[in-house]
Structure 1
């Protein structure tokens, strides 16, 4: 590990460094995780669709909340997978698999929540527009 890498491991000494590293994390998860890109695309499509459905403020809040929650859970899933892989190395361990499966389950459950929100808020409005 060279000096630059060691500096990145140390606690952020400047406030703006926190933002720099956070944005680097966002970029990394977007570049490296196919599922994150899928969540972003689907969430964007839903947001564009909602622009045409005249949502109330509280409906917008639920839609944005559910999309954000899926994205946040995908980031945490990626964090857990990376930490487990780092700890396990090349060895297989049933607890490593269990942790990774549960992290993926959290994303799946959150995505399910988002589908329920969409079914309650978006589908009736879409139905009215189409028929």
Structure 2
């Protein structure tokens, strides 16, 4: 076992939950895009419950919205790691950041398509 690994058992679960909440807090405080997506979710998730759609359709509408938050967390993590390594401009750093941004663009496009298909 790695000497860098933490606790095991219940202690590990509590630590993991705390680290996850720390990550959500850091994303909300430090990332404007994450805050914008939280606002989008605050509007769209309740709307999914208000709409007259099947339970499966409602689940898909909510899932694609939450997926945008997940992708933004990964995108922000990649950007933070790249910035931690170096702030100098490098083609590989640009590619990594652009790919994270592209992943979010694909997710937002998927939200629009899924909501469009379900509602139209």
| TM-score in terms of structure 2 length | 0.87
Detail structure 1 runs of 4+ shifted over 3 Å in the superposition.
Answer: none
**Equivalent residue number for residue 54 of structure 1:** 52
- Cα shift at 1:96: 0.3
Deviations 1:70-119 (A, max 9, x none): 110000000100111111x2321111011100111001101100110111
- Cα shift at 1:54: 2.2
**Equivalent residue number for residue 91 of structure 1:** 88
Distance across 2 between alignment mates of 1:84 and 1:90: 8
Give the unaligned 5+ runs of structure 2. none
Q: Is the 8 A contact 1:29 1:36 kept in 2?
A: yes
Q: 2:117 aligns with which of 117, 120, 125?
A: 120
| TM-score in terms of structure 1 length | 0.80
Look at both structures and tell me which one has the larger radius of gyration over its CA atoms.
Answer: 1
Aligned residue-pair number = 113
Give the unaligned 5+ runs of structure 1. 1-9, 125-131
Distance across 2 between alignment mates of 1:114 and 1:90: 33
The SS at the match of 1:92 is coil
- Cα shift at 1:62: 0.6
- Cα shift at 1:51: 2.6
CA RMSD of aligned residues (A): 1.3
